[in-house]
């Protein structure tokens, strides 16, 4: 009887793996054809910024599934999950702001 219970967990992990594989494949294909897509749309600067946003969103999707499933946080209480997510969600934009601000002062951009 325990065999049937184990198959549900394996199926879920395989589905998550396939989702992460597809997201990674899309990221790699966008990276390979990045210059071709920019030339196709005739917007080298504008398209690149949109492509960077797409890369960031796809990376966040992958990070979410890795943390939720493979670090086993999906079954934890909301407070524990928030104690992990909130510092990251606050710290990354803050560090990005510092990087952009100090980088512009350093190189005079």
CA distance 14 to 16: 5
Both tokens of residue 5? 């219970």
**Over its length of 109 residues, how does the chain's per-residue pLDDT go in tens digits?**
445 555 678 898 899 999 999 999 999 998 887 767 666 555 555 566 777 788 888 998 998 888 888 888 888 898 998 898 898 889 988 988 888 888 777 766 5
User: What residues contact 50, with CB distance under 8 A and at least 6 apart?
Assistant: none
Q: Could you tell me the pTM of the whole model?
A: 0.67
Determine the Cα–Cα distance for residues 23 and 73; give it in Å rounded to an integer: 21
C-beta of residue 58 within 8 angstroms of C-beta of residue 75: no
pLDDT of residue 92: 87
Q: Please give the structure tokens belonging to residue 109.
A: 């951009």
């Amino acid at each position: 009887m325990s065999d049937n219970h184990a198959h549900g967990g394996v199926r879920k992990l395989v589905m998550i793996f396939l989702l992460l594989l597809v997201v990674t494949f899309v990221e790699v294909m966008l990276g390979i054809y990045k210059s071709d897509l920019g030339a196709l749309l005739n917007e080298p600067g504008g398209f690149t910024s949109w492509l960077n946003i797409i890369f960031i969103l796809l990376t966040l999707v992958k990070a979410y599934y890795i943390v939720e499933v493979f670090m086993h946080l999906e079954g934890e209480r909301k407070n524990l999950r928030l104690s992990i997510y909130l510092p990251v969600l606050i710290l990354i934009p803050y560090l990005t702001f510092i990087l952009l601000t100090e980088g512009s002062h350093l190189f005079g951009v």
